[in-house]
Structure 1
Amino acid sequence: MSVTFYWYPKCGTCRKAKNWLDRNEVDYIAIDIVEQPPDKSELKTIIEKSGLPYKNFFNTSGKKYRELVFKDKLKDATEDEMLDYLASDGMLIKRPIVEGKNKVTVGFKEEVFDQTWQ
């Protein structure tokens, strides 16, 4: 099984996820989420496949999120507006995102990776 691994190489959490994928011999294609952020349609597919709310895909601890006061912007934002925001800047997207054929994980928790990607 090959997965798509959206990550930011300078992110410690992303490096932990990459190490987990390597240790567990998961075949992946790594994409730098800042240099090549997923476009609006890719994001829509990823989010729908995950079954998670759109808001879960925002990097709420990120500098850009705080500077641009997304906490307030997202209160009344439509799903389409949220996709526009996410597609506009890879730094706004929570990472890492791992996308497989029928599954998606966002962020890194070892137990979730153990259950989802082994």
Structure 2
Amino acid sequence: MPNEVLVLAYAGCDTCRKAQKWLKEQGVAHRVRPIVEEPPTVAELRQWLPLSGLPLRKWLNLSGQSYRALGKAKVDAASDAELMSWLAADGKLVKRPVLVSGSTVLVGFQPEAWARALTPAR
């Protein structure tokens, strides 16, 4: 695979651990970036957002403490610029894991989608 597979993950996240285990079982070489210590930058978010095909708000971890601390009303009232700065400042606010491989960006772990994205076209 010509492009490095990057996974932004949180060590305390069961879904992130499942995703990493799945990658290992599939023989996919990858690098894990700790999302709490190194959240995506605003520049990365600007690049990755269109590649993910998701609206910005789908990048939010709605079940996490960071989201609850902000509160739904504050998040709903926030501009995209504010949301991006919050996501870049707090990796726990980001839905995870995030897989980045070339022009593919996937948010959250769905084995079927990851398999499609990581299987070379024939």
TM-score (norm 1): 0.92
Q: Note the residue ranges of structure 2 that are not aligned, 5 or more in a row.
A: none
1:15-43 superposed Cα distances (whole Å, 9 cap, x missing partner): 00001111111121110000111211112
Which residue type is aligned with residue 37 of structure 1? P
Task: For residue 54 of structure 2, give the secondary structure of its aligned residue in structure 1.
Answer: coil
Partner of 1:84: 85
Partner of 1:106: 107
Cα RMSD of the aligned pairs, angstroms, is 1.2
Relative to structure 1, the CA distance from residue 5 to residue 116 in structure 2 (aligned partners, 3 Å threshold; closer, same or farther) is same
Percent identical residues: 39
Q: Which of structure 1's runs of 4+ aligned residues deviate more than 2 A?
A: 73-78
Which residue type is aligned with residue 3 of structure 1? V
Task: For residue 21 of structure 1, give the secondary structure of its aligned residue in structure 2.
Answer: helix
Task: For residue 30 of structure 2, give the secondary structure of its aligned residue in structure 1.
Answer: strand
Q: Note the residue ranges of structure 1 that are not aligned, 5 or more in a row.
A: none
Partner of 2:12: 10
Pick aligned residue for 1:33 from 18, 32, 35 = 35
In the comparison of the two structures, how many residue pairs are matched?
117
- Residues 1:52 and 2:54 are matched in the alignment: yes
Deviation at 1:76, TM superposition (A): 3.1
| Correspondence 1:64-79 to 2 at 5 A | 64-69=66-71, 71-79=72-80
1:25-62 superposed Cα distances (whole Å, 9 cap, x missing partner): 11211100001112111122111211210001111000
Pick aligned residue for 1:23 from 22, 25, 44 = 25
Which residue type is aligned with residue 110 of structure 2? K
Which residue type is aligned with residue 84 of structure 2? L
